[in-house]
């Protein structure tokens, strides 16, 4: 296959090239890793205050330079008059409209650390308005733009150099409590919200909302400015915080919504007694209501994400989603404060919904085979960002009455027009306990039912994240199909969007019914005449990686090759190696030394390392050494065990990647190794 790929780049100077949109010529219409990394990644759609324009960002990546860059675009809400308004050698991030609808505020590292800048919506009159030595992570202006709420990192705990100033180059960390690491970092800073005056186009007189408390807000590792909100009158800031540290933090998911009054400087906990995650507050435009996302149970990170509202005057709280057996995320108030738009996944597709407050009624707006990731209000229409297994994120306009969608951004139209995507088919498969399980099947492009194809079982991670219509730049099912594989992706027990009973079955049952669900899926497809049942492979990451390790010891010779990325191999060791103890306590049932804990003992009895003696098929192990969620020692132990057992094995280790693979050249290496391994054993 021939691919001509030219990065549209220019140079601010000889040392800082600008990474821009790729121009591709694809001769045979098939996806490759290089094509996958050439897509522009659309994000952050923001509607102007007058509802007439949309601001969004697109990230581009250069494999040759091994880095990415993001640029800003503005268009009318009907998709017309689209313009790229930045083209710089530094990343623009967190862009937001200012109240006049003519200016944009954003973060840029143009002068070193990330600082706040403004410019006109056509990209002119670019000005830096902050100059903090520590930089700024994210921000939101007050409604009248006299103040700014921003997030910045503050020092956490005592560092070695604080204790021993004469050892400034010592790299050792002295640890006295848990949560000394989290996901991919050693915790030496936490984010805090600050409020500052915004006068004469300058940010000054900042105040730490947490007053130096050793807590994080927003919450790591994924929280952003959506976890904080201004009241419409600009007198109150709502913020999300889990006011715990160390061991207490490691054992609990109990976060709360706090109100900080700018006039009195007092803080009030508005969700006291609500024991799970409470986060992402948003005030109604009339200032009478607060909406937020809430989980009920402490320690259960995959609990139902409920839509809660509170009457601010009375303090009365209502679960709007009480009769709605789905998650509710990405809340957006209607202009009249009478309803809330949000996104929710059901049966493995994510749609936009509306909750009518007075009627206590939830209505589905969009319908299709896709995933919406966000929704915003633009006068008489909605603006959403959506993707599918066959198409990356683009911006759409949606009629809130009919659900009719119109694509606006068309960022990747040229690349997509040259690609032949495989057919994506929805199936319902009968499980071993006579339930119906939703399964996606992705066929190779130019599929010929008279031929026999090698087939891959895709094992989802999470363990409680849906196999929806996701688009991934690593686990891309269309790329797998383009390499000549049929892909079987079951929504096995433990995955959302099929009700809480289906979701919760997996907790305390690792190695149980959900593994039987995997067998049900691959066995059903193996009966098809176009599936080569002698060339079956099994792949997955995180919990999916655990699944691969477990299935390798129980598959009864179904599979001829395995591939596990960042998987749990030794569960007793995982219990003590991981950092979020609430997760292993809930999902595994407790500690392995609790001999009278039947659930925990069942979990540890299903640890994959106990079944290595039954491994009989080649296995590729991939892991990142900056993965502090599932340490690389898990992958190394699995690889070592395979080699010692005489099982054909290979390991791809990334010293500088975390639970994901984020660098372009590492991403390409991942894909090439992935397919070289599978092709060796399945073709």
251: number of CA atoms within 13 Å, CB side? 7
**Rounded to the nearest 5°, which phi and psi values hold at 146?**
-90, -15
In terms of Cα–Cα distance, which of 580, 494, 498, 588 is closest to 544?
A: 494
Instruction: Give the other-Cβ count within 10 Å of 266's Cβ.
Output: 9
As to burial, measured by CB atoms within 10 angstroms (0-12 exposed, 13-18 middle, 19+ buried), residue 11 is: exposed
Residue 263's Cβ-count burial label (10 Å; 0-12, 13-18, 19+) is exposed
Q: How far apart are CA 566 and CA 562, in angstroms?
A: 13
Among 184, 517, 566, 627, the one annotated catalytic:
627
Scan for tokens 């403004």, then name that residue. 118
Any idea what DSSP says for residue 421?
Answer: P
Which residue in this structure is represented by tokens 């054992």?
251
182 is catalytic: no
Burial grade of 402 (CB within 10 A; 0-12, 13-18, 19 or more): exposed
Q: Which of 468, 542, 547, 603 is catalytic?
A: 542
Q: Is 590 exposed, middle or buried (0-12, 13-18, 19+ CB in 10 A)?
A: middle
- Which residues partner with 256 through β-bridges? 241
Place of tokens 């639970």: 659
Rounded to the nearest 10°, the torsion over CA 82, 343, 473, 72 is: 30
Radius of gyration of the chain (CA): 25
Residue 659 among the catalytic residues: yes
374 is catalytic: no
**Pick from 5, 1, 8: which is nearest to 24 by CA?**
5
Catalytic residues, by residue number, are: 542, 627, 659
């Amino acid at each position: 296959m021939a691919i001509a790929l030219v990065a549209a780049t220019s140079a601010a100077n000889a040392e800082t090239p600008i990474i821009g949109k790729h121009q591709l010529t694809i001769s045979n219409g098939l996806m490759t890793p290089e094509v996958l990394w050439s897509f522009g990644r659309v994000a952050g759609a923001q509607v102007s205050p007058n509802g007439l324009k949309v601001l969004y960002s697109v990230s581009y990546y250069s494999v040759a330079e091994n880095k990415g860059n993001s640029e800003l675009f503005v268009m009318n809400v009907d998709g017309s008059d689209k313009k790229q308004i930045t083209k710089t050698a530094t990343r623009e991030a967190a862009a937001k409209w200012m109240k006049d609808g003519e200016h944009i505020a954003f973060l840029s590292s143009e002068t070193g650390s990330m600082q706040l800048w403004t410019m006109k919506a056509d990209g002119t009159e670019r000005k830096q308005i902050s100059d903090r030595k520590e930089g700024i992570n994210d921000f939101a202006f007050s409604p009248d733009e006299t103040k700014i709420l921003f997030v910045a990192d503050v020092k956490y705990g005592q560092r070695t150099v604080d204790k021993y100033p004469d050892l400034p180059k010592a790299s050792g960390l002295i640890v006295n409590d848990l949560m000394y690491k989290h996901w991919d970092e050693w915790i030496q800073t936490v984010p805090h919200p600050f409020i500052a005056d915004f006068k004469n186009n300058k940010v000054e007189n900042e105040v730490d909302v947490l007053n130096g408390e050793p807590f994080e807000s927003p919450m790591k590792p994924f929280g952003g400015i959506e976890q904080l909100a201004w009241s419409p009158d600009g007198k109150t800031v709502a913020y999300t915080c889990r006011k715990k540290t160390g061991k207490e933090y490691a054992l609990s998911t109990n976060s709360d919504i706090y109100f900080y009054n700018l006039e009195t400087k007092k803080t009030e906990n508005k969700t006291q007694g609500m024991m799970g995650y409470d986060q992402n507050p948003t005030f109604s435009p009339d200032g009478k209501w607060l909406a937020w996302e809430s989980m009920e149970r402490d320690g259960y990170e995959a609990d139902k994400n409920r839509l809660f509202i509170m009457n601010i005057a009375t303090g009365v709280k209502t679960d709007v989603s009480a009769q709605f057996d789905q998650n509710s995320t990405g809340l957006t108030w209607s202009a009249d404060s009478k309803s809330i738009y949000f996104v929710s996944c059901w049966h493995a597709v994510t749609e936009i919904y509306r909750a009518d407050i007075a009627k206590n009624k939830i209505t589905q707006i969009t319908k299709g085979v896709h995933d919406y990731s966000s929704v915003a209000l633009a006068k008489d229409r909605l603006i959403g960002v959506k993707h599918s297994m066959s198409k990356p994120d683009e911006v759409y306009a949606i009629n809130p009455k009919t659900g009719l969608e119109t694509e606006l951004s068309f960022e990747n139209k040229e690349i997509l027009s040259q690609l032949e995507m495989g057919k994506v088919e929805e199936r319902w498969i009968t499980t071993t306990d006579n339930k119906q399980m939703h399964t996606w099947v992705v066929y190779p492009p130019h599929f010929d039912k008279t031929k026999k194809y090698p087939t891959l079982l895709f094992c989802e991670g999470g363990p409680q994240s849906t196999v929806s219509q996701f688009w991934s730049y690593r686990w891309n099912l269309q790329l797998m199909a383009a390499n000549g594989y049929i892909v079987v992706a079951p929504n096995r027990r433990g995955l959302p969007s099929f009700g809480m009973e289906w979701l919760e079955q997996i907790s305390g049952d690792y190695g149980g019914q959900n593994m039987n669900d995997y067998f049900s899926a691959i066995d059903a497809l193996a009966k098809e005449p176009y599936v080569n049942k002698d060339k079956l492979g099994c792949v997955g990451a995180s919990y999916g990686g655990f699944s691969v390790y477990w299935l390798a010891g129980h598959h009864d010779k179904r599979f001829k090759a395995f591939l596990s990325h960042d998987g749990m191999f030794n569960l007793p060791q995982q219990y003590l190696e991981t950092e979020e103890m609430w997760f292993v306590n809930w999902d595994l049932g407790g500690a392995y030394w609790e001999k009278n804990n039947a659930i925990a003992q069942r979990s540890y009895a299903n640890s994959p390392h106990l079944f290595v003696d039954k491994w009989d098929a080649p296995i590729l192990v991939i892991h990142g050494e900056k993965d502090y969620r599932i340490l690389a020692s898990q992958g190394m132990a699995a690889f070592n065990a395979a080699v010692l057992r005489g099982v054909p094995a290979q390991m791809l280790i990334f010293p500088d990647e975390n639970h994901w693979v984020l660098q372009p050249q590492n991403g390409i290496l991942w894909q090439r190794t992935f397919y070289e391994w599978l092709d060796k054993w399945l073709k």
